[in-house]
Structure 1
Amino acid sequence: MNDIKILGRLTDTPEIKRSASGRDYAWFTVAVPRRNNRDEADFIRCVAFDKLAAAIVKHCGKGRQVLCNGRLQVSTSIDDDTKRIRYHHTVVVSGTHFLHDPNRNNAAESAMAA
């Protein structure tokens, strides 16, 4: 079974794009802290499609904590210089839970201070 869950924060604000076939998608990277060392993180490349991509773009910005579930996809390419096979790992997201949003709390605190 190919099932993966990752919990972390977005490294940048996702943007929606459209494929040549007309399908919407959004690429984004999630920084996942390592269990044994909170000062280190793994940066996981993710992609979502269609309505889920639109929801992620609408509700998520840089720093937003998300829980993504999906499947791990591995693709290969040949490095032009070394002629070696390169492996590319991507999480194809099928569901996302939008968790802590640091930007929203800052806006609420700014409004209270004013």
Structure 2
Amino acid sequence: MNNIVIEGRLAQDPETKQTQNGKMMTTFNIACDRQYDKEHVDFFHCLSFGQVADYMAKYGTTGMSIIAVGSAQIVNYQDKNGQRQTGINVMVNSVKFLSRNPKMENPQNQNGQQQPAGGRTQASGGYGNGQRQQTTGGGYSQNNNGYAPRGGGYGHQQNGYGNNGYGQPAAPDFMSVPDGMDDEIPFN
């Protein structure tokens, strides 16, 4: 199985291009700090199509923290000097922004109305779980307050990555232990 999960920062604003087939594609680079070597940074060149590409082009901006999930592809190309090089492209099929987009200072909610003062954002869902709006106790509608739409953006449903359970129904209560049961573990 070829899965890759990258957590880092957008190294520059995403660029949207048209492929030779006429499909829209968004490219971006993710900068990742190394765990044990703080002096070096790794850059991953990423490609996205469809809804993920639209989402990245609309909401992504330099410096935003992001998690991208996709698959790695080995590519061969010629550099500026005509030398044959080998690299890796990440074909991203889902993303989640972890930080605020600074370009969206006074966002509007889904109804086109500005958010009341004092509203705040609550994250919901994981990768591709869909956009949700939640309400505070005071009845204020909570919009994205400068964050990309909640639910991690677009992509196929993942049952593991980032599924933090917000907006999910409460789990059923555990079965109670009947009276008279021994509290000891039945094995040694």
TM-score, normalisation: structure 1: 0.80
CA contact (8 A) 2:30 2:46 kept: yes
Other-structure match for 2:58: 58
Q: What SS does structure 1 have at the residue aligned with 2:56?
A: helix
Q: Specify the alignment match of 1:73 in structure 2.
A: 73
Cα distance in 2 for partners of 1:43, 1:74 equals 15
C-alpha deviation, 1:50, in angstroms: 1.5
Matched ranges for 1:13-52 at <5 A: 13-52=13-52
Separation in 1 of the partners of 2:21 and 2:28?
Answer: 21
Partners of 2:78 and 2:39 in 1: how far apart?
33
Render the CA deviation track for 1:13-70: whole Å, top value 9, x for unaligned. Answer: 0121111222110111000010112332101111101111010111110001110010
Any unmatched runs of 5+ in structure 1? 109-114
Paired with 1:82 and 1:104, the residues of 2 have a C-alpha distance of: 39
Q: TM-score, normalised by structure 2?
A: 0.51
The residue matched to 2:36 in structure 1 has which SS?
Answer: coil
Structure 2: how far apart are the matches of 1:54 and 1:102?
16
CA contact (8 A) 2:2 2:72 kept: yes
- Are 2:60 and 2:101, in contact at CA under 8 Å, matched by a contact in 1? no
Aligned to 2:111: none
Residue type matched to 1:91 in 2?
V
Q: Bigger relative contact order, structure 1 or 2, given CA contacts below 8 A and separation 6+?
A: 1
Q: How far does the alpha carbon of each residue in 1:64-105 deviate from its partner, in whole angstroms, 9 at most, with x for none?
A: 11100100000223669676x421211100110111136269
1:20 to 1:82, Cα distance in 2 relative to 1, 3 A: closer
Gaps of 5+ in 2: 107-188
**Quick check: which one's helix share is greater?**
1
> In the aligned structure 1, how far is the partner of 2:16 from the partner of 2:77?
25
Greater Cα radius of gyration, structure 1 or 2: 2
Letter in 2 for 1:48: S
Q: 1:20 to 1:102 in 2, by over 3 A?
A: closer
Quote the residue 1:111 is aligned against. none
Deviates more, 1:74-83 or 1:26-35: 74-83
Structure with the bigger percentage of strand: 1
